[in-house]
A = this chain, B = another copy of it.
Amino acid sequence: MFNFTRLAATSALGGLSSVVLKKQDVLNTLTLHAADNKELCYVGDIIKRRVGFPQPTACCKPLRFKDFIVSYDSKNRIPNWVYEHLQYDKLFKDDPCDRRIKVDRTQCASNEDKERPKFTPDCRIHGYHRADAKDYCDTEYEMGLMAQPENYPYDQESFCECFTMTNIVPQVPGFNCGPWFDLECYVREKLVRENKGVYVCSGPLFLPCAEDDRTVKQFDVLGDGEVSVPTHFFKVIVIETQDGQLELESYMMPNCTPEEGEEVKLEDFLTPLCQIEHHSGLIFFPEKKCFSSNNRRRGARLHAL
């Protein structure tokens, strides 16, 4: 632990005292400071003006896409969260006079393999912090899409935008096609069909685990881009009912394949929002909007933090 002995030792300086030079022009310097800082009293303002604050790429202004929005984690090269607003009339066709046509998948297919989509890097992210499809090559992980192209079946632009690398997180294959897929279908085919609108926030989590007598965080890192593989994923869903009420459902799922033959029940993954907030470092509704929680009604096992 830190104590004052270490502080006091500073004046002794150890081997560094030899490099100390005499200050020759204190008065001049003081005069200069006074003039320089006339209107800049606070140290933060001085630092900001003179050298600027360090900025994570695109952290403070989420990345705009046509139909969803992404907060990017430039340290882990994956999104912090991706937010969508899904509505019945964008997803489904009831009216025979509706002239919209289904998207043409080939327009965002890879040149080499028409069965696969073409993933595009996001040029708004600095090269140091940008993920690339190459990072996933020769790994066991799939490119998990947060905003799902199937949510935009009648919008070519939105459909293709889902394949931007800032919307993508490494997922274990059996998870991507298993519980995560089931949850996406549940949102689209039940919640969106039954309600006025659904706000869906999806993202990755890094949970600690016990190892011997310590607690550690450990996760794989992919490719030259050093893309982090999360241990878990969340979906925080705000349902706007037909009468305009807002209801909440929140899920947390481990990034792993269910055991063979195991039946996946979405209810088992319902998780109190506060747990997701604790692990993600995020507060989801900072303006403290009031929701009725669907979690309890849906039979969630509520764990205390």
The reply to whether the CB of A109 lies closer than 8 angstroms to some CB of chain B is yes
A52 to B282 Cα, complex, angstroms: 12
A5 to B176 Cα, complex, angstroms: 13
Which of B43, B219, B221 is within 8 Å of A67, CB to CB? B43
List residues of chain B with CB within 8 A of the CB of A218. Answer: 216-218
The reply to whether the CB of A64 lies closer than 8 angstroms to some CB of chain B is yes
Give the interface size class of chain A. 35 or more
Q: Determine the residue in chain B with the shortest Cβ distance to A199.
A: B51
Instruction: Encode contact with B along A51-82: 1 for CB under 8 Å, 0 otherwise.
Output: 11111110110101011110101111000110
The answer to whether B142 touches A2, judged by C-beta atoms less than 8 angstroms apart, is yes
List residues of chain B with CB within 8 A of the CB of A55. Answer: 282-283, 286
The answer to whether B33 touches A87, judged by C-beta atoms less than 8 angstroms apart, is yes
List residues of chain B with CB within 8 A of the CB of A2. Answer: 116-117, 142-145, 176
List residues of chain B with CB within 8 A of the CB of A105. Answer: 4, 7
List residues of chain B with CB within 8 A of the CB of A68. Answer: 43
| In the complex with contacts A136-B1, A149-B7, A215-B220, A74-B282 CB distance below 8 A | yes
List residues of chain B with CB within 8 A of the CB of A206. Answer: 75
